Amino acid sequence: MKELLAPFAGLYKGVTSLRNYLFDINLKKTIELDIPVISVGNITAGGTGKTPFTITLANLLVEKGFKPAIITRGYKRKSKGQVIVSEGNGSKVSVEISGDEPFLMAEKTKKVVIIADTDRVEAGKTALEKMGSDIIIADDCFQHRRLFRDVNIILWDSYTSPYDESLLPKGRLRESFDGLLRGDFLVFTRTESPDDKDVEFFNQKGLECYTSPTRITEIKNINEEFAQSDIEGKSILAFCGLGNHQQFFDTVQQLNPNKLITQKFPDHHKYSEQEVETLFKKAELDKVDFLITTEKDKTNIPSKFLGNEKLMYLSISLGIDERLLNRILRDI
């Protein structure tokens, strides 16, 4: 199937290369704001951990005395135009209006402005002129070149080999690896020890490489929080709607269940009542102790099910050590 899609990958490369070339020669213009912009993005379709990385980075910037704003598209939200999701004290709007990722960002940050807008330039102007922000984190912005950025962070899933990747639709690359030349550095997510060959690959593209390991921060249901040891040896049905399902399933596997059943849904999936009821029936038939999903998926589950004690939510963060943070701050 991949070979059948190869000609379309060639066409896709032509389109993306032309677009980038027009920006490179200034026929397409970039707009620079009066405050630093940090872009957090990737070169592949699918999950690399942008949302938890962005949340951690925003919170660290607050600790350093900044007033950050996160600007994001708000994929699959039911609103149009620009939405101020948070002024720094939780979400002002429902998840349907904001989109699941901006809503989660608003709930996991403090003193951070969150703005959803497909036009990142207008979102940045609002953050600067109306919200008083002094630094911007542009979520999923690597290919959104109209907004000038001072730092370009590229995230790469450490479980993926760059040697195996191809352009869409044959593979998952959003653009060719030539696009890495726009990056300032690359962060391997979900590991502290990336494969040496993969590090060498990106070093040869002129990128410094850093790591951002996954940390489990909370496991809880509606009533209580659990230690990881409480889950060890239990039977688990794990389900999620993410760009990279395996990331989540691997994280659940770290809890050492005696049985793990998995169920995949499309990224940003809005669960119907029937789908959730089917999951609970499956859990009953397979005699599992808990159903576990992500915080992001929790926002997309009908509220009537959220009080079930068997339904648990796994919170994760991506670590950013001082060396990586200093590297980011050096260039803004």
Over the stretch 277-301, which tens digit does the pLDDT of each residue have? 999 999 999 999 999 999 999 999 9
Q: Which of 299, 293, 271 is nearest to 98 (CA)?
A: 299
pLDDT the model gives residue 91: 96
Dihedral sign, Cα of residue 223, residue 225, residue 229, residue 234 = positive
Mean pLDDT of 11-24: 91
The reported pTM is: 0.92
CB atoms within 10 A of CB 44: 21
Q: pLDDT tens across 82-141, in order?
A: 999 999 999 999 999 999 999 999 999 999 999 999 999 999 999 999 999 999 999 999
CB 49 within 8 A of CB 157: yes
Let me know: does 291 contact 311? Beta carbons within 8 Å: yes
Residue 1's pLDDT band (boundaries 50, 70, 90)?
low
| Sheet containing strand 135-139, strands side by side | 83-86, 113-116, 68-72, 135-139, 37-42, 151-157, 185-189, 208-212
Q: 103-106, long-range: CB within 8 Å, 24+ apart, which pairs?
A: 103/299, 104/51, 104/55, 104/295, 104/296, 104/299, 105/51, 105/54, 105/55, 105/58, 105/70, 105/72, 105/139
Q: How far apart are CA 64 and CA 56, in angstroms?
A: 13
In 3D space, the residue among 253, 304, 247, 245 whose CA is nearest the CA of residue 276 turns out to be 304
Separation of alpha carbons 151 and 137, rounded Å = 10
As a whole number of angstroms, the distance between CA 263 and CA 272 comes to 15
Whether 215 and 316 have beta carbons less than 8 Å apart is answered as yes
- CA–CA gap between residue 319 and residue 332 (Å, rounded): 20
In angstroms, how far is the first alpha carbon of the chain from the final one? 44
Specify the amino acid at residue 189. T
Q: Which pLDDT belongs to residue 5? A: 64
What pLDDT is recorded for position 21? 92
pLDDT surpassing 70 at residue 2 = no
Mean per-residue pLDDT of the chain:
94
Cα gap 106→85, rounded to integer Å? 7
List beta partners, residue 153.
40, 185
- Which residue, 187, 253, 268, is CA-closest to 216? 253
Q: In the prediction, which pLDDT does 11 show?
A: 85
